[in-house]
């Protein structure tokens, strides 16, 4: 399946988008992680111009960075209408803040982390946003849940489908939680 924008115009830094398919990764390792993740998806679903198309299972994963509890991670595919990538990023950051996210330490523990992974086949590199997410293809905790809901989505930099990227990773630290 090819994901593409119905209409995307980028001129002089202004982005206008009619509709688009986006992929996000969600994670939490502080507080009631499952409750926080489900509530964050509900907040996004209630946001104008955002429709959740698919949601992965939740997975327990080992943390990257300093010593901290294991994470609960998953992914979602969103359909967005009339939202540029930058506007969607702002909504995702605001959602993190609603759930107590405080940015103190890189790769530190957090109540909610939402990573913006893909926006159709857009390649974007600005000071505040890189698409596709620059480290997504190195992370089993991202690709395992994303492959569950969008295995054929082609990551535009590598030209490989998510399922292909996943084959190159060690997934031993990613455990699917019971439904």
User: Is 101 one of the annotated active-site residues of the chain?
Assistant: yes
Bond into 132 cis (ω within 30):
yes
Q: Are strands 14-17 and 19-28 parallel, antiparallel or unpaired?
A: unpaired
User: What is the mean pLDDT of the segment spanning 88-115?
Assistant: 85
At residue 142, the 3 state secondary structure works out as helix
Predicted pLDDT of residue 12: 41
Asked whether the predicted pLDDT for residue 14 surpasses 50, the reply is no
Distance CA 110, CA 171 (A): 22
Q: How confident is the model at residue 134 (pLDDT cuts 50, 70, 90)?
A: very high
Give yes or no: 115 in active site.
yes
pLDDT for the residue numbered 66: 82
Looking at 32, 103, 106, 113, which residue is catalytic? 113
6 compared with 168, residue with greater pLDDT: 168
Q: Do 61 and 42 form a contact (C-beta atoms < 8 A)?
A: no
Catalytic site includes residue 120: no
Give yes or no for residue 17 having a pLDDT over 70. Answer: no
Residue 96 has pLDDT above 60, yes or no: yes
Question: Which of 32, 103, 115, 139 is the catalytic position?
Answer: 115
Contacts of 157 (CB under 8 A, 6+ apart): 123, 132
Q: Which of 68, 81, 100, 78 is nearest to 25 (CA)?
A: 78
pTM of the prediction?
A: 0.88
Residue 29: φ, ψ to 5°: -140, 20
Angle at the Cα of 145 from the Cα atoms of 48 and 19, rounded to 5 degrees? 30
Has residue 61 got a pLDDT over 80?
Answer: yes
């Amino acid at each position: 399946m090819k994901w593409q924008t119905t209409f995307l115009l980028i001129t002089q830094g202004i982005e206008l988008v009619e509709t688009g398919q986006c992929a996000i990764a969600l994670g939490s390792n502080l507080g009631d992680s499952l409750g926080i993740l489900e509530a964050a998806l509900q907040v996004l679903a209630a946001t104008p111009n955002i429709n959740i198309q698919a949601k992965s299972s939740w997975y327990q994963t080992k943390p990257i960075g300093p010593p901290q509890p294991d994470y609960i991670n998953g992914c979602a595919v969103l359909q967005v209408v009339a939202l540029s990538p930058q506007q969607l990023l702002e909504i995702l950051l605001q959602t993190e803040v609603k759930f107590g996210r405080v940015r103190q330490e890189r790769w530190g523990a957090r109540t909610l982390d939402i990573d913006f992974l893909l926006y159709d086949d857009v390649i974007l590199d600005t000071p505040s946003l890189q698409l596709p997410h620059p480290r997504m293809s190195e992370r089993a905790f991202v690709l395992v849940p994303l492959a569950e809901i969008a295995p054929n989505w082609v990551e535009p930099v590598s030209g490989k489908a998510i399922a292909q990227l996943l084959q190159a990773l060690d997934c031993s630290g990613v455990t699917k939680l019971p439904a």
